[in-house]
Amino acid sequence: MSRKKNVRMPSGEVVPVVPDKLDPELFTVVGRNTARMESISRPSLTFWQDAWRRFKKNKPAFIGMILLALYIILAIFAPMLSKYSYTAMDAANRNAGPSLVHWLGCDDTGRDIWVRMWMGARVSLTVGFFAAFINAVVGAILGGLCGYYGGALDMIMMRIVDVLYGIPSLIITILVMVVVGRGVHTLIIAMCIIGWIGSCRFTRGEVYRLKNQDYVAAAKVLGVRDFIIIVRHIIPNIMGMLVTNLCMAIPGAIFQEAFLSYIGLGIAPPNCSWGILAKEGIKLLRVAPHQVLFTAFFICTTMLSLTMIGDGLRDAFDPRLRGTE
């Protein structure tokens, strides 16, 4: 079909003539690519896979996880592979500085600080992880039951929580240590007696909010049992926040153990923990400052790593960020 020309009016104005039918060859379709439109722009990932993908992109959190894993490996294998015992004394090396023989030096009785550092890491990390995990599990169970069922159970439990919340945790710890005695198990029990309160209150609030959502109401209308609703609908929606709070609670538990051992309420000698090493090293700060500096370094880096991991998990489990990267 030939293109029609413009028409000049008697007044001299040129007016374009619109043809009755447009030639398709005169036009080019742009912005439509069927192959690209039907292709998958990003792989289909589950909630946990997407969270792990975003967690790996968080460099501080990933570095913190690697550092924490390194400390755990050293705590397990370093005392086993060393030729020195954490209780063996050598008067000739009292307060010796770091060397190729004793990598972190020796304490005031000649004991190798490298071995004692990682034996203390065993105790501190064990107490911190177990205490935080038990508190998170107990608090999540009690808080979940109170938030989901409410009623008299919720009222009674919240009044108990309010009473325990007003009691200083240090007083409870001292009472338990006096009655039961000092030791790792006693320290974990003392830290767990009222340590679950924070997790309980947090979980109760989240479950109380989620149980009023439409998908939970729909499941109840369809006759789904409460146990199935809790397992399939409630727990997956709060799991990310529970894991994040757990990682945030571990540094506090490690620091509490170190503080209690520092003031003499934790692990009993000759056993060692980071708190005991700090207590022994601070006495010789002017004579052998390396003893307390090394201990402080490992405590600070461990707590910093756990804090960065907690921040990374908080961002990774945030559903508002899913699929945005």
Terminal CA-to-CA distance of the chain, rounded, Å? 50
- The predicted-structure confidence for 247-262, as pLDDT tens digits, reads as follows 888 888 888 888 888 7
- Per DSSP, the residues of 140-189 read HHHHHHHHHH-HHHHHHHHHHHHHHHTS-HHHHHHHHHHHH-SSHHHHHH
Structure token digits, residue 311 = 């921040």
Q: What is the pLDDT of residues 47-95, one digit of tens each?
A: 678 788 888 888 999 999 999 999 999 999 998 888 888 888 887 888 8
Please give the residue that has the higher pLDDT: either 169 or 188. 188
Q: 192 Cβ partners below 8 Å, 6+ apart?
A: 131, 134, 135, 138
What does the mean pLDDT of the chain come to?
A: 82
Residue 64 CB contacts under 8 Å (≥ 6 apart), including other chains: 304, 305, 306, 307, 308, 309, 312
pLDDT at position 315 over 70: yes
CA distance 188 to 129: 10
- For residue 108, what pLDDT band results from cuts at 50, 70 and 90? confident
Name residue 7's beta-bridge partners.
15
Rounded mean pLDDT, 157-178: 83
Task: Assign 91 to helix, strand or coil.
Answer: helix
DSSP assigned state of 303: H
Between residues 44 and 174, the one the model is more confident about: 174
The pLDDT, as a whole number, for residue 76 is 92
Residues paired with 15 in a beta bridge: 7
In the block, tokens 């790593």 appear at 305
**The domain 64-81+103-321: what is its CATH number?**
1.10.3720.10
Instruction: Identify which has the larger pLDDT, 305 or 108.
Output: 305
Give the span between the Cα atoms of 87 and 269, in whole angstroms: 10
Task: Give residue 195's pLDDT.
Answer: 85
Closest of 95, 77, 74 to residue 281, by C-alpha: 95
% of the chain exceeding 90 in pLDDT: 10
Whole-angstrom distance, CA of residue 257 vs CA of residue 266: 7
CB 106 within 8 A of CB 93: yes
Q: Which tens digit of pLDDT belongs to each residue from 115-150? A: 999 998 998 898 889 988 998 889 888 888 888 888
> How many Å apart are CA 301 and CA 79, to the nearest integer?
20
Average pLDDT of span 18-27: 66
Domain ranges of the chain: 64-81+103-321
Give the separation between CA 245 and CA 317, rounded to whole angstroms. 12
What mean pLDDT do residues 208-216 have? Answer: 86
